[in-house]
Amino acid sequence: MLKLWFRHGNIFEIEQIVRNGFDKIDLKVWIDVIPQLLARVDIKDPVIRKSLIDLLEKISMKFPQALIYSLSVLQKSKTVERRKAADQLIEKLKLKQPVLIE
């Protein structure tokens, strides 16, 4: 499913199906694929990147502990897009979980 999403997620109908799936699939399921999601966080297509960031944000709001270490590692990436995505997610987490982030 991830391969199809990352390859065809910029097609409007596919994006809508994927986003609807985010609401139907228990967020716990996504925890197992966090490394694969973070590996693609710098994907070039802005539509796919936006939906990916949105999913990671949903996961981080419900299970912040599942992402915090990986995001802190991602902040040290040499890739600017990866660092920006990690910074963006951590900033949003700070609002909900300031003690955990600190």
* Neighbouring C-alpha atoms within 13 Å toward the C-beta of 101: 16
Alpha carbon distance 84, 59 (integer Å): 18
pTM above 0.85, yes or no: yes
CA distances from 25 to 18, 29, 38, 71, 94 (A): 10, 7, 19, 23, 25
Alpha-carbon gap, residue 36 to 82, rounded angstroms: 13
The pLDDT value recorded for residue 79 is 92
**pLDDT confidence tier of residue 99, bands split at 50, 70 and 90:** confident
Q: How confident is the model at residue 80 (pLDDT cuts 50, 70, 90)?
A: very high
